[in-house]
Chains A and B, each alone.
Chain A
Amino acid sequence: MNDQYVRNVIEAALLAAGRPLASDELVTLFDERDGSNAEEVQTAIVTLRAEYETRGLELVEVASGYRIQIRPSVAQPVSRLWQERPTKYSRALLETLALVAYRQPITRGEIEQIRGVAVNPNQDVAGTGLDSHRGAP
């Protein structure tokens, strides 16, 4: 299959998806009879990444797959598009996040034990998309 075509499909898919796409997902975009395989997709990603090198965008791999994002070196001027400043996470929230990240599953009591303060239920993990199953009140 045409390399350029594979690259174009992957680029377009990454831009259209609105979320990171794993390489497995990218492979499924191609017809089987086209004979595309994971290797080809991988090659295309490497080439694409190199092509973006000189651009304001970059292709990166995050935990859930690949995505095309704004290159951090131009993030500052781009951010002027929006009036609102991004919310700054409080230290309490970040410490709780760190505990969840390294010690999960963890109970609220265990978090309070290590941090030495009671967790403010209104503020902390709520709104960050984390599940609270174990030991949740």
Chain B
Amino acid sequence: MKPELTLVKNHAPAAKTPESNAPAALPTQGEMPFAMVEGQPVTEMPRDLYIPPQALEVFLEAFEGPLDMLLYLIRKQNLDILDIPIAEITRQYMRYIELMQVLQLELAGEYLLMAATLAEVKSRMLLPRPKSEDIAEEADPRAELVRRLQEYERFKRAAENIDRMPRLERDTWLATAELVDRKVVRIAPQVTLQEMLMAFQEVLSRNDMFAHHHVSREPLSIRQRMTDVLSSLTNTAFTDFTRLFRSDEGRRGVTVTFVAILELIREGLIEIVQAEPYAPLHVRLGNPARHLQLVPDTGNSMPDDGAPNETEASSQ
């Protein structure tokens, strides 16, 4: 039993910590000012827990997490990270946690988890080890904690190094010069018949949603509709393609309008334009140079090219 007892003693931080370290561990720990309040350095946390809240909050919020806080406690007292006096560190750690709770800072669960981990490490160290195991091979209960602390410290330092690297828009700026007269060729898309048909299809399908029962049918003349479309265009520069259709005329009326528009395009009286692919189609009056005379609707007359057949859509 004797060797075990000494082992426990060896690992107990109180036994390992020299007397000179003890004062730093008392509540008055804090040789260096950890905050400035109204110009006065605060070197000591008031024991009655009257804490200048602003100062302490800033201080406590500066920690990135429990590992960061633990690392601070260790570094502050120049302790060997490989040989941490767990009990003492735990005590200090808990004091900070209590402070955070007193100040009602949002205390993340990770801090409490770390406190539990510290307590667990300590209790493992207090337990006598099984006799059969070789003492030298027995893993130090602190090993995992030390590994995490070291790994975190490595990346903490890496982060600081990254921050020191020259950064664009902070430490330097890209030098640029303008290239005047830069020619960018922008090709206007061609409107194909297919796209027109698709637009028409859309109008048709939308029109279906407004379908009503037709009690009576009005005879619709393509020629008449051509005149209507033309006159509706004379006042405006551009008209939305879909606006030329009236949903209340039903499928047949829409068809007649579409055929009328096609006829007008063929005769060069109107043009279909599109700003870019998938943009809405617009209709405008055609080039006056190519203007053709429109024969008034007499009901029977047919032009020479025989195109606009005077279909009376009233049939059926």
- A contacts, CB < 8 Å to B: 12, 14-16, 18-19, 57, 67-72, 75, 78, 86, 89, 91-92, 94-95, 97-99, 101-102, 114-118
User: Which residues in window 68-117 of B have CB below 8 A to A?
Assistant: 68, 108, 110, 114
Verify if B308 is at the interface (C-beta below 8 Å from A): no
Contacts A95-B64, A95-B156 given; 10 further ones with Cβ under 8 A? Answer: A16-B179, A18-B176, A67-B175, A68-B174, A71-B172, A92-B64, A94-B162, A95-B159, A115-B152, A115-B155
B67: which A residues are within 8 A, CB to CB? 115-117
Say yes or no: A70 contacts B173, CB within 8 Å.
Answer: yes
Give the Cβ gap from A136 to chain B, nearest Cβ, in Å.
Answer: 21
> B residues within 8 Å of A by Cβ?
64-68, 108, 110, 114, 148, 151-152, 155-156, 158-163, 166-179
Residues of A within 8 A of B64 (CB): 91-92, 95, 115, 117
User: How long is the Cα–Cα vector from A109 to B7 in the complex, in angstroms?
Assistant: 37
- Our count of residue pairs bridging A and B at CB distance below 8 angstroms stands at 86
In the assembled complex, which residues on chain B have CB atoms less than 8 Å from the CB atom of A101?
158, 162
How would you classify the secondary structure of chain A's contact residues: helix, strand, loop or mixed? helix
Q: Which residues of B contact A15 (CB under 8 A)?
A: 175-177
Q: How far is the CA of A69 from the CA of B174 in the complex (A)?
A: 4
21 chain-A/chain-B pairs, Cβ below 8 angstroms: A14-B175, A16-B176, A16-B178, A69-B173, A70-B172, A70-B173, A75-B172, A86-B169, A91-B159, A94-B160, A98-B161, A98-B162, A99-B155, A114-B151, A114-B155, A115-B64, A115-B152, A116-B114, A116-B148, A117-B65, A117-B110
CB distance from B110 to the nearest CB of A (A): 5
Report yes or no: B159 in contact with A116, Cβ–Cβ below 8 A. no
Which 5 residue pairs of A and B lie closest in terms of their CB atoms, listed nearest first? A117-B65, A15-B177, A94-B159, A98-B158, A116-B67
Q: Which residue of B lies closest to A111 (CB)?
A: B155
CB distance from A73 to the nearest CB of B (A): 10
Residue contact A72 to B166, C-beta cutoff 8 Å: yes
In contact, A75 and B175 (Cβ under 8 angstroms): no
A30 to B240, CA, bound (A): 48
A91-B64, A102-B155, A117-B66 known; A72 and B171 CB under 8 Å?
yes
Q: Are A75 and B173 in contact (CB under 8 A)?
A: yes
CA A85 to CA B152, docked complex, whole Å? 30
A92 to B67, CA, bound (A): 13
B160 and A69 form a contact (CB under 8 A): no
Q: A67-B174, A70-B175, A118-B110 are in contact. Are A97 and B162 (CB under 8 A)?
A: yes
Measured in the bound complex, the distance between the Cα atoms of B152 and A69 in whole Å is 35
CB of B163 within 8 A of CB of A94, answer: yes
Residue of A14, A71, A91, A101 with most chain B CB atoms under a 10 A cut-off: A91
Most buried by B among A15, A72, A92: A15
Residues of B within 8 A of A92 (CB): 64
A98: chain B residues at CB < 8 Å are 155, 158-159, 161-162
CB distance from B246 to the nearest CB of A (A): 50
Closest Cβ of chain A to B204, distance in Å, is 44
Which residues of chain B are within 8 angstroms of A91 by Cβ–Cβ distance? Answer: 64, 159
Residues on the A chain within 8 Å of B65, using CB:
115-117
**In the complex, are the beta carbons of A18 and B173 less than 8 A apart?**
no
